[in-house]
Amino acid sequence: MSRFANFIARSRLQTRRIFSTHENPFGISGNSKEPSTLKNKAQQIRKGLPKKWPIAGVEHVILVASGKGGVGKSTTAVNLALGIAANEPSKSIGLLDADIYGPSIPRMMNLVGQQPQITQQKLMKPLINFGISCMSMGFLVDEKSPIVWRGLMVMSAIEKLIRQVTWGPLDYLIVDMPPGTGDTQLSISQLIPVSGALIVTTPQDIALLDARKGTEMFRKVDIPVLGIVQNMSVFECPNCHHKTHIFGDDGARNIAKEMNLEVLVNIPLHMSIRETSDMGKPITVSQPQSSQAMAYRDLAECVVNKIPNTKNTVR
Ligand SMILES: Nc1ncnc2c1ncn2[C@@H]1O[C@H](COP(=O)(O)OP(=O)(O)OP(=O)(O)O)[C@@H](O)[C@H]1O
Ligand SMILES: [Mg+2]
Ligand SMILES: [Zn+2]
């Protein structure tokens, strides 16, 4: 017999021996304790994932998200936090900038260039402006230096911004999310219980498509979607007061219906919203009597009313 034929015969014999039982259909040699080994493995994997537990002293976490970039999440998150504070001055409110690549909170909350103090327990203290406790990657790295972190690095940064900050006591922690449905969204849903998410969208078709994706993702990870914020819904000409629907007319209402959601508020496209955000003087505090500020306060009231009464606090 040639060496090749010899080899074939030998391997046939081995194959037959290995495949001879129904209990071991893939022929993986090993002992009979296979099922419990698998169970152990599953437990090990579960152990490797970050554990989900509330942020000490924080009662409600609210995410401000969107599938698409640049639709006004950060502007909404800032003015929502300030809107709740304006409606209910006794409440304590925090703002977490979860946008690791493009943090906006330092600029919008006029905290650029400031750094958090470190406690004896090596925890970071949030920076406070307009009465809101804020934390952002932007406080920890130079605003102009590009952040080239990816994947796991983003996840560990998020974990630090959640766990290594003295957040509590807070009634509401508003989280300004990065665009999309990626690592940050997953990390947050795995790390902490979330009371609800807001989906920000413009009335434009393409943004609505992403709003649908965002909603579906939150539903998959069991985070309740509180409703839709239709941003830049109408533009009123400052000269003749003619109203133009630059990004389309009321598109969010259709998608809300389809997704069984509510459009909680329509925020107009207004120069003053952009200007005040850029200046670090959000409209809800700098022009509190304006109709734009009132729209954010309406949103704040709506959100607070929609949050379930169960609290997540551990003290
Ligand atoms: N209703 C509005 N009227 C006028 N300008 C607005 C409005 N909402 C947001 N903007 C402006 O649009 C730009 C994008 O807004 P913002 O940064 O809040 O979006 P974002 O969704 O957080 O973006 P990113 O996906 O990059 O994080 C900013 O310059 C902001 O000032
Ligand atoms: Mg943003
Ligand atoms: Zn005009």
Q: Where are the domains of the chain?
A: 58-306
Strand (E) or helix (H) holding 244: strand 243-244
Please tell me the distance between residue 196's alpha carbon and the centre of ligand 2 in angstroms: 18
Q: One digit per residue, pLDDT tens: the chain, 315 residues?
A: 455 445 444 544 444 443 334 444 444 444 444 445 555 655 554 555 566 899 999 999 999 999 889 999 999 999 999 999 999 999 999 999 999 888 999 999 999 999 999 999 999 999 999 999 999 999 988 766 666 655 567 888 899 999 999 999 999 999 999 998 888 888 899 999 999 999 999 988 777 888 889 899 999 999 999 999 999 988 878 788 888 888 777 778 888 888 899 999 999 999 999 999 999 999 999 999 999 999 999 999 999 999 976 665 554
Which amino acids bring their CB within 6 angstroms of ligand 1?
66, 69-75, 99, 102, 104, 179, 231-232, 267, 269-270, 273-274, 277
Atom of ligand 1 nearest to the CA of 66: 21
DSSP class of residue 88 equals -
Residue-wise burial string across 67-106, b where 16 or more C-beta atoms lie within 10 A, e elsewhere: bbeebbbbbbbbbbbbbbbbeeeeebbbbbbbbbeebbbb
Rounded distance, CA 102 to CA 92, Å?
A: 26
Q: How many CA atoms lie within 13 A of 51 on its CB side?
A: 6
In this structure, which ligand is nearest to the CA of 65? 1
53 CA to centre of own chain: 16
User: Residue 123 class from Cβ within 10 Å (0-12 exposed, 13-18 middle, 19+ buried)?
Assistant: middle
Q: Which of 274, 275, 279, 286 to mutate to test the pocket of ligand 1 (most atoms within 8 A of CB)?
A: 274
Q: What is the pTM of this model?
A: 0.83
In this structure, which ligand is nearest to the CA of 243? 3
**155: phi > 0 → left, psi -120 to 50 → alpha, else beta; which?**
alpha
Please tell me the distance between residue 25's alpha carbon and the centre of ligand 1 in angstroms: 57
Domain 58-306, CATH = 3.40.50.300
148 - beta bridge partners?
none
Between the alpha carbon of residue 133 and those of residues 1, 96, 99, 110, the distances in Å are 82, 8, 16, 12
**232: phi > 0 → left, psi -120 to 50 → alpha, else beta; which?**
left
243 CA to centre of own chain: 33
Please tell me the distance between residue 103's alpha carbon and the centre of ligand 2 in angstroms: 7
Rounded distance, CA 194 to CA 87, Å?
A: 22
In this structure, which ligand is nearest to the CA of 235? 1
